[in-house]
Amino acid sequence: MSKHNFPPLKNDLFLRALKGESVERPPVWMMRQAGRYLPQYMKLREKYTFFERVETPELACEITIQPIDELEPDAAIIFSDILTVPQALNIDVQMIPGKGPVMGNPIRKVDDAFSIFAEDIPGKLSHVMDAITLTRHELNGRVPLIGFAGAPWTLFCYMVQGEGSKNFDLAKSFLYQHPEASRHVLKELTKATIDYLNAQIEAGAQAVQVFDSWAGLLSPDDFNEWALPSLMEITANVKGVPMILFAKGAWYALERLSYKSGVAALGLDWTISPEYARTHTADHVTLQGNFDPSHLLAPIPEIKLKTKRMIDRFGTQRYIANLGHGILPHVPVDHARAFVDTVKGYS
């Protein structure tokens, strides 16, 4: 738990839902709620590069709170990126506007892989911890603050491929051709993630989410071999606050994850029906999701209808309303507000 002295929490709906306690209505937040659909974010984007925004605690704090002021969801998520961990492992990451992340020195040879070592990750990413502590103070207890990290498999995809990809063919090819070298990278990433999340919790994160955005690229057997062991080690060794695991596309693993991973909640993408998710997960797990992000482009009355229908189907308990993936950049702010307000008005 945190060593800091923070203002008392005024809205604990999100934490109660994570713990499985009873709630008056489901809490709501949106993945990527700080981002390009907000005009106030775009203004800062003109002045500072992506990693300047991430690495300056005052900017990260301001950006984290922008959606809280604008939309008043029930949780904040620290503005940062999953690719901070590869950076701390000496992978050079540039964020190219319109293209996304590009690595200057991706892992392409066995020697590259064996040169990866997780050493003092919290020290190398101290700006993230500073941003979390500052944001806890600035939020003044309005809503809880979520910390996060990428899952080892997803980080491996970027570190080997060197950029975003539809199928991460270079990463998978490396995995199958060099299993021992791949296992080494995944082991170091797992250690890095555990240290990083525990440091975020100590800095003030009140819940943490692990993003395995590319879990769905793996077959169920490959998921068992290459993704699940890291996830199990992370859930067993990150302590003190509830954890949410978002393994996008891994519908086939829901049952295993809910019974064996020990997480408080599972994030769901929009390809999974609420009924399927409830049937295939343990009773004690909270579910989070899973509004199709592109449905926020529908007319507002339809957004309201679809949001209500989603809650009807998940139920109001052990449930956190969210999108099934990050909000899209061209969503009108009013449409995002309609989503949040519909959840808050649900009865």
- Residues found near ligand CP3 in the complex (CB under 6 A): 31-36, 45, 50, 77, 79-83, 95, 97, 100-101, 148, 164, 211, 213, 326
| Closer to ligand CP3 by Cβ: residue 157 or 343 | 157
| Closer to ligand CP3 by Cβ: residue 151 or 178 | 151
| Closer to ligand CP3 by Cβ: residue 105 or 279 | 105
Length in residues, the chain: 347
CB of residue 180 vs ligand CP3: minimum separation in angstroms? 26
Cite the active site residues: 32, 36, 45, 81, 158
| Closer to ligand CP3 by Cβ: residue 178 or 207 | 207
- Tell me the residue nearest to ligand CP3 as measured from the CB: 213
Task: Answer positive or negative: Cα dihedral of 214, 217, 219, 222.
Answer: negative
